[in-house]
Structure 1
């Protein structure tokens, strides 16, 4: 049932520029009011969006994408790389952190999709599926007082370009028991003759207002609606999207049930002077914390293991820390 005490807003972006849309998403996250929730709907044209801690050159055929007029973007949240075009609709629930309720948020999406007679369900760590095939990937990001949950909805995406631009590791594909990216995804338009991205947008708004309460108005925004040039410049910058790809002295990598993990270290006088972790793990904050805690410590495996193992975190992330430390203990036996 809707909660009439919640301030409910719907914002739709008319821009198809990923750097603007991600900048606006962060602006809304940092500007959210107490007891407020926003459904933000947006689309990017011919874009690959990578997770906060991913290596762009490993996830995407960057040169091919840019030579063909596409854009690479990097989001705040963790998770894996995704392809966006105008056959895909993106949603973001931006909210006061006290309102975060994943089941309720997912119900908005599932209710909207089911209104077209499609039997959708939540599956795995972050996927929405139909008949075992994925049509939506979800990711999450938290600040002290606000949070967002965002994702994709494949309505009529060009899967040829999706498979052309994305480079998915064989280990990731094999871990899901499939033989290709194309075999595990589905466009919802394949399941309904009347479903369009515009129709899905209307259905999402109806579902959102049915669950959270009626919005006073749907706000349509253009590139100049908000003063977010500084955030736009960040998302458009080479440093944010690509960053440095240093030549590491030591590299360890492994795929776990929760995602891939690649640790690269640069050493000087036996101490770690730079540590970089590439990962599609969902918790981007934890990955950042793990890499930063290794700076300036001696390159001694017991010290690395104990430092990572001592990171203070919640129970949900303890699995990642335990997996990484146990794996490094085994690695240390062969060094």
Structure 2
């Protein structure tokens, strides 16, 4: 069999996912790809970042937003989390074989993991690995995570949306109890887990050469970077959703109902007890066709002169 092992040297998640897409097109029977990311939130292909993430907190803390091509829920990555990818020809690959390699690697470190549900690995009742799958015409891609010593305390800062009431047709994440491998093996290090996976892969498929690769500066992955890491591209691929925001302003109470399509406010409707009947159409007009982004709404604030409209739009900005 013709096999390959790649280790990413960059910690940019979008670049590493673009690299994974590149590897999906390579003619190997089996590929093991190992990668570690800087802090980021990775959402599934059909998820809504507005309902999954606290975008304001992420921007403040420089946590990258990334959309992968596989399904599943939103997850937090940092340099305490090892990502692994198996790419193989469909006729010689299966998730069962891949899971066996991961479990064998853990067992070699003295850690007993077990499969749970369709795509998780648990240890002592806590989820240590989430997995997702993607199939092309002739390839099977299985990627997953292994929480080694990740900072689990900050996950809730970024995976809890700050918005008030949001209705979306997108896939929702399922909350899980998560844990680190460090809880079972106090002296564990990332390199130990990488080495264990490599040994288990070679045991399954034979000795394989290891190649380090920088996908941030690799031409083929640079070409596809925007698909995974460009914020405008990610938000434009957001499934249609609606967002209703209620608040009491100095001029009255109002609920703003926004229909968002491809990340743009398609329709704004305002319900209020304000006595000025001219205010509602004024607000709706200034919001329609505006990208649902802080920067775009701030541009509305910069040119709007009515203090009541400024107050409302400023509050909308605070909810993003």
Normalising by structure 1, we get a TM-score of 0.66
1:202 to 185, 195, 200: 195
Which of 44, 50, 56 does residue 63 from structure 1 map onto?
Answer: 56
Structure 2 residue 216 is matched with structure 1 residue 221: no
Residue 86 of structure 2 corresponds to residue 112 of structure 1: no
Shift of 1:227: 3.0
Q: For 1:1-335, list aligned pairs within 5 A.
A: 6-29=1-24, 31-33=25-27, 36-167=29-160, 181=176, 184-215=177-208, 217-222=209-214, 223-243=216-236
Q: Specify whether residues 64 and 110 from structure 1 end up closer, same or farther in structure 2 by C-alpha distance, changes over 3 A only.
A: same
Cα deviation, 1:63-115, whole Å, max 9, x if unaligned, reads 21121011000000000011000000000001112122111110110011111
Query: What SS is found at the alignment partner of 1:27?
Result: helix
Gaps of 5+ in 2: 167-172, 244-258, 262-320
Change in CA separation of 1:249 and 1:237 when aligned onto 2, cut-off 3 Å? closer
Computing the radius of gyration over CA atoms, which structure comes out larger, 1 or 2? 2
After the TM superposition, which segments of 4 or more aligned residues of structure 1 sit over 6 Å from their partners? none
CA contact (8 A) 1:74 1:240 kept: no
* Shift of residue 162, structure 1, vs aligned partner: 1.2
**CA shift at 1:202, angstroms?**
0.6
Match of 1:228, SS? helix
Gaps in structure 1 of 5+ consecutive residues? 1-5, 170-174, 251-263, 267-335
Alpha-carbon distance change, 245 to 152 in structure 1, aligned in 2, over 3 angstroms: closer
CA distance in 1, matches of 2:5, 2:112: 25
TM-score by length of 2: 0.69
What is the CA–CA distance in structure 2 between the aligned matches of 1:85 and 1:234, rounded to whole Å?
Answer: 21
What residue in structure 1 maps to residue 296 of structure 2? none
Q: What is the rounded CA distance, in whole Å, between the counterparts of 1:265 and 1:189 in structure 2?
A: 42
Q: 1:210 to 1:64 in 2, by over 3 A?
A: same
Tell me if the contact between 2:54 and 2:160 (Cα under 8 Å) persists in the aligned partners: yes
| Offset of residue 229 of structure 1 | 2.0
